């Protein structure tokens, strides 16, 4: 084998050994670079006579072309291999089963709230939302609750930062502050009409939402839901409360023979006051009295704090527990299940 063929062989071997494009460029430099072996051969021709130069030059050129061809082939081979690896890494297995999108749904308590809103909505009640961080005024004072009432103690109520000592902020302990907030707005809207001797359109509203108390066991959670109801007009009375609430309960539980009982009770903001108990005539809970709401005729002091004259305006309020209603409706006996976030439980309501 002559010297030039040996050189082509050496280059081809060296290119074949290069495992990466960078190695290949280094190998190329050894043969075709500025001081590479082919270049050295070219330089060596300077000393030859003219006729020998021609022959030798042509031979070197052939060798150089062969080396360049080997380089190009190896470059292509490395690029092909890399592409092959990438294709393998990114390959999609189209035979794998698809990822299924989970079906979401409303929380059982949300389902109850929607139901409550729909039923009272059909009876002409507006739906109002209010803040969960309340002032002492709206939560207690405006609702005729005296300074020394136990509900105001630290043991029962979560006080939070942001208020003053005289007017602390707290997490609302019930939705009743919405009675005042909503009524004050409503009265303001119709003040001019009343000043001109007109009669205020009735207040008819429910206010569902989260409420908070220092309380925790199977039937009490520190965060729970309430739904307030308020109906104020010139001649709204206990009979109306009884009709409306009976209608609501029978519709909610889809039970026409459901019976209600108004049991005398006490709340600072209603007088007289009553707990509302219900009794199913059929089903697993039949025959038992189950407490579902507090209620009463709105106290004159509260009517006054709404900006109305209690000689002219009267009505009733109630506060019910949507969590309790949900437990009764679905036969759930531990309130905490609603707030644990366990999908095995929650998915049963979809």
209 belongs to the binding site for ligand PHE (CB under 6 A): no
What DSSP assignment string belongs to 38-88?
HHHHHHHGGGS-HHHHHHHHHHHHHHHHHHHHHHHHHHHHHHHHHHHHHHH
Q: Identify whether the C-beta of residue 182 lies closer than 8 Å to the C-beta of residue 207.
A: yes
Quote the least distance from Cβ 347 to ligand PHE, whole Å: 31
Window contacting ligand PHE (CB under 6 A); options: 38-46, 109-117, 191-199, 316-324: 316-324
SS3 220: strand
Distances in Å between the Cα of 163 and the Cα atoms of 23, 135, 136, 223, 238 are: 73, 8, 9, 21, 37
Q: Which of 174, 186, 204, 324 binds ligand PHE (CB under 6 A)?
A: 174
Number of residues in contact with ligand PHE, rule: CB under 6 A?
A: 10
Residue whose entry in the numeric block shows the structure tokens 């890399």: 82
Q: Which of 205, 317, 325, 335 binds ligand PHE (CB under 6 A)?
A: 317
319 belongs to the binding site for ligand PHE (CB under 6 A): yes
295 belongs to the binding site for ligand PHE (CB under 6 A): yes
- DSSP lists the bridge partners of residue 135 as 169
Tell me whether residue 186 or residue 213 sits nearer to ligand PHE (CB atom).
Answer: 213
Quote the least distance from Cβ 99 to ligand PHE, whole Å: 46
Footprint (CB under 6 A) of ligand PHE, residues 258-287: 267, 270
Tell me whether residue 12 or residue 173 sits nearer to ligand PHE (CB atom).
Answer: 173
> 322: closest CA among 211, 197, 188, 203?
211
Footprint (CB under 6 A) of ligand PHE, residues 78-137: none
Contacts of 318 by beta carbon, 8 Å cutoff, 6+ apart:
228, 229, 241, 245, 276, 293, 294, 295, 296
Q: Which of 296, 324, 325, 328 binds ligand PHE (CB under 6 A)?
A: 296
- Supply the DSSP symbol for 217: B
Distances in Å between the Cα of 9 and the Cα atoms of 67, 68, 73 are: 8, 12, 14
Torsion angle of C-alpha atoms 143, 243, 202, 129, degrees rounded to 10: 60
177 belongs to the binding site for ligand PHE (CB under 6 A): no
Window contacting ligand PHE (CB under 6 A); options: 52-60, 114-122, 245-253, 293-301: 293-301
208 belongs to the binding site for ligand PHE (CB under 6 A): no
Quote the least distance from Cβ 281 to ligand PHE, whole Å: 26
Residue whose entry in the numeric block shows the structure tokens 């009709």: 243
Tell me whether residue 157 or residue 270 sits nearer to ligand PHE (CB atom).
Answer: 270
Quote the least distance from Cβ 264 to ligand PHE, whole Å: 12
For residue 74, the number of C-alpha atoms closer than 13 Å in the C-beta half-sphere is 23
Binding interface with ligand PHE (CB under 6 A): 174, 176, 267, 270, 294-296, 317-319
């Amino acid at each position: 084998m002559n010297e030039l063929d040996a050189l082509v062989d050496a280059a081809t071997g060296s290119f074949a050994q290069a495992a990466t494009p960078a190695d290949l460029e280094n190998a190329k430099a050894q043969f075709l670079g500025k001081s590479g072996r082919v270049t050295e051969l070219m330089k060596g021709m300077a000393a030859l006579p003219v006729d020998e130069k021609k022959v030798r030059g042509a031979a070197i050129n052939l060798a150089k072309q062969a080396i360049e061809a080997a380089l190009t082939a190896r470059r292509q081979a490395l690029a092909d291999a890399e592409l092959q690896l990438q294709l393998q890494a990114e390959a999609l297995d189209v035979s794998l089963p698809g990822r299924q999108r989970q079906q979401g749904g409303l929380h059982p308590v949300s389902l109850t709230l929607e139901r409550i809103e729909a039923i009272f909505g059909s009876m002409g009640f507006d739906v109002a939302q209010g803040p969960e961080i309340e002032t002492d005024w709206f939560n207690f004072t405006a609702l005729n609750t005296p300074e020394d009432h136990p509900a105001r103690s630290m043991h029962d109520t979560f006080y939070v930062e942001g208020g003053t000592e005289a007017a602390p902020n707290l997490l609302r302990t019930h939705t009743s502050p919405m009675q005042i907030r909503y009524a004050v707005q409503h009265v303001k809207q119709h003040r001019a009409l009343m000043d001109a001797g007109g009669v205020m359109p009735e207040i008819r509203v429910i206010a569902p939402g989260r409420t908070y108390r220092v309380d925790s066991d199977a039937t009490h959670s520190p965060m729970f839901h309430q739904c307030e109801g308020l109906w104020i007009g010139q001649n709204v009375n206990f009979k109306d409360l009884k009709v409306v609430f009976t209608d609501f309960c029978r519709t909610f539980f889809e039970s026409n023979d459901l019976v209600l009982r108004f049991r005398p009770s006490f709340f600072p903001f209603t007088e007289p006051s009553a707990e509302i108990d219900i009794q199913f005539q059929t089903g697993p809970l039949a025959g038992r009295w189950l407490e579902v709401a507090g209620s009463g005729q709105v106290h004159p002091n509260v009517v006054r704090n709404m900006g109305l004259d209690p000689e002219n305006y009267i009505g009733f309020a109630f506060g019910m527990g949507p969590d309790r209603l949900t437990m009764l409706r679905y036969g759930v006996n531990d309130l905490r299940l609603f707030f644990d976030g366990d999908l095995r439980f929650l998915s049963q309501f979809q």
